[in-house]
Amino acid sequence: MTFGLVLAGLVTASIAQGHHLEYRATPQVYDSCINANDIALTFDDGPYIYLRDISDQFTRAGAKATFFMNGNNWDCIYNPDRISDVKYAFAAGHMIGSHTWSHADLTSLSTPQIQDAMFRMEEAFSRILGIKPAFMRPPFGDYNNNVQSIAAARGQSLALWDWDTGDADGNTTAQSEAVYNDVVNAKVKNALILEHETEETTDSTLVPYAINLFQSKGYNLVTMAQCLGVDPYQAIGVPQQQTPSWTCDGTPDPGAACGGSITCETGTPTFSSTTTVTGPTPTATYIHPTASASKCLTAASNTDGAAVEIEDCISGGSTSQGWTISGSNLKIFGTKCLDVTNGATADGTKLQIWTCASGNTNQMWAFSGSAITWTGHSSCVDLTDGSTANGNLIQIWTCTFGPNQQWTQTIG
Ligand SMILES: *[C@@H]1O[C@H](CO)[C@@H](O)[C@H](O)[C@H]1NC(C)=O
């Protein structure tokens, strides 16, 4: 499931700080990091009794972790100890995301049941932390189009992973450590790794091993949002005061869903916002010929058939230069995709943008080193005649992986 989006360096400080996008990015599915040299260690299924200790281990190492939490799984999140631990990890700057209320397999649920599983978790975060999560990790990593569109309507992207330690699937600690060693031996650009907060040996053995290993190899241990260069939350407001209604009684049991005596909650929870609404995840990527960081892959206009050409990068980012990676599509203006004109396979066929259509093979791309390849063909996105002059049109050409086919991405 690795989608190898390779960031060939060049995330300058000014660009990294300038999250001033002019449009709301479509929530999407992330199964790998974007930024080079970042590793995000993610922990599912808590909050449980190891949360505070894992949080402390990362904090002591100057590192950050990510926790995808359930409301009613190994413990009830409204247990006062769990409330206190969740606040503690959040205050330490670790990222908190939703893993849904009861860890039911969302692909087996009806639409109101999926909404309920997401609602109850969002309500707990709104109450305890005063946050609206921007990421939801579907239990078991299982999702379908319905799950994706419900998450999108709630402003959430789906959070998957590209390496699994198997710590909750019966792997011994030695086997899980071998996964970390594999990551290092593969000399990955980045990694998004799955662990579970609920395993004693993950806390006692895997976390110290991973922190030491990855830091000794020079990787940055960051949150999932940081490794993507996006915001972890849709909004940060203020926590609420606890009341007796903060309970897991009368809610779906672990693995179960609403229905019968339990009403399905299909709305959105009350959110107390007195502070900044940071907005959903800015995810635009600027694509430069590797030869010239000041030039950007640009759509000539926002209409179907508009040419794709090279132009000077517009400072602060521009909607005509901000591309979003969504599965194998490279999107722009929210609904348009990088597209091979008429799907012609001849060398020299020019690229255009066209309304995205799922399954349209003219719009499918993969990142391979610094090349952008047309999936299913041996053609690459190519700078015509190697010229970085403004207005030069972009074409496909048989992949040579030469200088005309080398592209560098920076995050807006
Ligand atoms: C378990 O460990 C083995 C050996 O390190 C590894 O190949 C595998 O991916 C791990 N994960 C699972 C889910 O088995």
Give me ligand 1 centre to Cα 166, in Å. 5
Positions annotated as catalytic residues are 44, 196
Residue of 140, 163, 171, 199 with the most ligand 1 atoms within 8 Å of its CB, for mutation: 171
As a whole number of angstroms, the distance between CA 59 and CA 149 comes to: 35
Q: What is the pLDDT of residue 384?
A: 94
Q: What is the pLDDT of residue 114?
A: 98
Q: What is the pLDDT of residue 54?
A: 98
CA distances from 375 to 5, 24, 258, 340 (A): 14, 27, 42, 11
> 182: which residues sit within 8 A by CB, 6+ positions away?
163
Q: What is the pLDDT of residue 393?
A: 94
Give me ligand 1 centre to Cα 141, in Å. 16
Q: Which atom of ligand 1 is nearest to the CA of 163?
A: 9
As a whole number of angstroms, the distance between CA 381 and CA 387 comes to: 14
Give me ligand 1 centre to Cα 169, in Å. 9
Going by CA atoms, what residue is nearest to atom 11 of ligand 1? 166
Going by CA atoms, what residue is nearest to atom 10 of ligand 1? 166
Verdict on whether the full-model pTM lies above 0.85: no
As a whole number of angstroms, the distance between CA 177 and CA 145 comes to: 34
* Residue type at position 264: C
DSSP string, 28-62: -EE-S--STTEEEEEEES--STTHHHHHHHHHHTT
CA distances from 199 to 44, 74, 169, 340, 363 (A): 10, 11, 11, 48, 42
As a whole number of angstroms, the distance between CA 247 and CA 193 comes to: 32
Q: What is the pLDDT of residue 21?
A: 31
Tokens of 326: 């969504």
Q: What is the pLDDT of residue 369?
A: 61
* Assigned fold of 29-236: TIM Barrel (3.20.20)
Helix/strand/coil for 205? helix
The kind and range of the H/E element at 310 are strand 308-312
Q: What is the pLDDT of residue 28?
A: 87
Domain definitions of the chain by residue range: 29-236, 285-411
Q: Which atom of ligand 1 is nearest to the CA of 175?
A: 5
Residue of 165, 167, 172 with the most ligand 1 atoms within 8 Å of its CB, for mutation: 165
Give me ligand 1 centre to Cα 165, in Å. 6
* Assigned fold of 285-411: Trefoil (Acidic Fibroblast Growth Factor, subunit A) (2.80.10)
Going by CA atoms, what residue is nearest to atom 12 of ligand 1? 166
Residue of 163, 172, 175 with the most ligand 1 atoms within 8 Å of its CB, for mutation: 175
CA distances from 130 to 140, 161, 241 (A): 27, 26, 10
Per-residue pLDDT of the chain (412 residues; tens, 9 = 90+): 333 333 322 222 223 333 333 233 456 899 999 999 999 999 999 999 999 999 999 999 999 999 999 999 999 999 999 999 999 999 999 999 999 999 999 999 999 999 999 999 999 999 999 999 999 999 999 999 999 999 999 999 999 999 999 999 999 999 999 999 999 999 999 999 999 999 999 999 999 999 999 999 999 999 999 999 999 999 998 999 999 999 999 999 999 999 999 999 999 999 887 544 444 444 567 888 988 888 999 999 888 999 999 999 887 666 888 887 776 788 888 889 999 999 999 999 999 999 988 888 899 887 666 788 887 788 999 999 999 999 999 999 998 888 899 887 766 5
Helix/strand/coil for 80? helix
Question: CA gyration radius for the chain?
Answer: 22
Give me ligand 1 centre to Cα 174, in Å. 10
Beta strand pairing status for 95-98 and 66-69?
A: parallel
As a whole number of angstroms, the distance between CA 285 and CA 303 comes to: 20
Select from 384, 383, 378, 381 the least CA-distant residue to 396.
381
Going by CA atoms, what residue is nearest to atom 14 of ligand 1? 166
Residues with CB under 6 A from ligand 1: 164, 166, 169, 171, 175, 178-179
CA angle, corner 24, sides to 319 and 388, nearest 5?
20
Q: What is the pLDDT of residue 317?
A: 61
As a whole number of angstroms, the distance between CA 308 and CA 351 comes to: 6
> 338: which residues sit within 8 A by CB, 6+ positions away?
308, 323, 329, 330, 331, 332, 351, 353, 363, 365, 381
